[in-house]
Chains A and B, each alone.
Chain A
């Protein structure tokens, strides 16, 4: 394992020090491992998210004006703890309430649920939206349900814009639910990732094979297949999503995220194919993002997210945002 770290034990703390050093518009609570926005939020709904670390820039990279107010960083691939989430909620609540954005993993659900109970006991109004958009997982009562992946970013952006416009908690929550329901993702891995504290790959993936429908912790998905070309993989990803979800002629926001170990040149080559597949299906790409946004340490591969949108969601997407990983003006 060759990693650019001091030690696995200090990696998270060191990374947070780096976030603080690099981004003056953020403030970092090192003890509680929370990244805060310094943007004014008086009288408006606050957005708090978080999860295991190792998926950067998710979530700390999305903290700032127009998006998240706080991100709680758990240990690598481990959800944050209830006291940590409570500390974030307590600090960002201005009386208008807090929206928790939670990805559908057992640990995240349990810890955010405990945090919500504790926050309500303190008189903080809390609403929770759960993102469960990964079509690689069969959504049934027999599994923990679908994982939350790329739709999380798109939801955090539009809900952040809505909060910045002064929407009520109920309205922001409604929008967040609507966005979560309209999003679907599917990914593929070309290598395993290596958790620093473990020091060896999480799973064994021989040369020439790939994992279709892999999760962002390296947990396998649908099946192992021979490595595909970008054209072949684009078919598989788009087909999986559109078979699962009828966009009903809506335009989409398309996110093609790398998983941490794939260069941009490959991601753009992949996005060209994805774009062709969507054109063939008359699916209009209204906005797109290509890059490393929801990653899995050093795993090679990519994940495609399509969120069906309307004019309101697009308008919120286009609203100004200033975070380390996403930044644009009117």
Chain B
């Protein structure tokens, strides 16, 4: 296991994200039916399928170019709040990535932080609002902590994925304060937020891709 994510590993991450989204689309839509408008699974499948087409097209160049292309593709194909938020996540990651073919630990940390901060700036949500931020922010915090503790990159990414899953589950009892679920008020409690669920899939896909030694 190298201590850097190659562009090939990042591509594997995105392929895996797309396939996991497809596998879990019905569940995401079910979560969204409970507290939103029943389209999160469908929208994410459409967007990640477009990302796969983009990746299959090849010629992604640097990490920066790859992430920017992914972000622009998601913005243009997902629609809704998820499209602009996931798009912003990758575009901001791209802006804060090197024009290189790999990311080392601290570069990945910087890029992920920038991505999450971009989502926060655009969506104005904070932890506890019952959104994707509840999964994303603990994930980057866990990554930073683990790297600071001197853990290997793979181990730190696994910690980030675990934190995202915990963060996802933490949305269940919450009353939504952002997004369409907020219209339900108290009735939004008792359901996992679909955005937090897809964000946990994103981090789990990263951890799984690294775990398989593609880095």
Binding site for B on A (CB under 8 A): 52, 74-84, 105-107, 110-111, 113-114, 136-138, 142-144, 147, 195, 197-198, 202-203, 215, 217-221
Question: Across the interface, do A198 and B29 meet the contact criterion of CB distance under 8 Å?
Answer: yes
B132 to chain A, nearest CB (A): 12
B43 proximal to A (CB < 8 A): yes
Whether B123 sits at the interface, judged by CB under 8 Å, is: yes
Contact residue among B79, B123, B185, B187 (Cβ-Cβ distance under 8 Å from A81): B79
Q: Residues 57-82 of chain B: 1 if any A CB is under 8 Å from the residue's CB, otherwise 0?
A: 00000000000000000011111111
Q: Which 9 A-B pairs have the closest CB atoms?
A: A217-B37, A107-B80, A107-B81, A110-B84, A143-B182, A78-B79, A106-B81, A78-B80, A77-B37
Contacts of A137 in B (CB 8 A): 183
> What's the Cα separation between A83 and B76 when bound, in Å?
6
Interface on B for A, CB 8 Å cutoff? 29, 33, 35-39, 42-43, 46, 75-85, 122-123, 177-185, 187
In the docked arrangement, what's the CA distance between A219 and B85, Å? 21
Q: Give the chain A neighbours of B185 by CB distance below 8 A.
A: 138, 143
The reply to whether B180 and A105 form a contact with Cβ atoms under 8 Å apart is yes
Taking a contact as CB atoms under 8 Å apart, the answer to whether A75 and B180 are in contact is no
Residues of B within 8 A of A111 (CB): 79-80, 83-84
B183-A78 in contact (CB<8A):
no
What B residues does A83 contact at CB under 8 A?
75-76
List the B side residues contacting A78 at CB < 8 Å. Answer: 39, 43, 78-80, 83
A-B contact pairs, 19 of them (CB 8 A): A75-B79, A78-B39, A78-B43, A78-B83, A82-B75, A107-B82, A107-B83, A111-B80, A136-B183, A142-B182, A143-B177, A143-B182, A144-B178, A144-B180, A197-B42, A198-B38, A215-B183, A218-B38, A220-B187
- Please name 12 further chain A to chain B contacts, defined as beta carbons within 8 Å, in addition to the given A78-B79, A105-B180, A219-B184, sorted by A numbering: A75-B42, A75-B46, A81-B76, A82-B84, A110-B85, A111-B80, A114-B75, A142-B177, A195-B37, A198-B42, A203-B33, A221-B183
Q: Could you tell me the distance between the alpha carbons of A88 and B78 in the complex, rounded to whole angstroms? A: 18
Q: Are B37 and A110 in contact (CB under 8 A)?
A: no
Closest to A195 in B: B38
Give bound CA distance, A81 to B46, whole Å.
13
Tell me the complex Cα distance, A111–B79, Å.
Answer: 8
**B177 & A219 in contact (Cβ 8 Å cutoff):** no
Given contacts A144-B182, A217-B37, contact A106 B123 (CB under 8 A): yes
Chain B nearest CB: distance from A282 CB in Å? 32
In angstroms, Cα B71 to Cα A83, docked, is: 13
- If A81-B76, A198-B33 touch, whether A147 touches B38 (CB-CB below 8 Å) is no
Q: How far is the CA of A195 from the CA of B32 in the complex (A)?
A: 12
Residues of B with C-beta under 8 A to A82: 75-76, 84
Task: Please name all residues of chain B whose beta carbon is closer than 8 Å to the beta carbon of A77 when the two chains form the complex.
Answer: 37-39
Chain A residues within an 8 Å CB radius of B43: 75, 78
Give the chain A neighbours of B84 by CB distance below 8 A. Answer: 82, 107, 110-111, 114
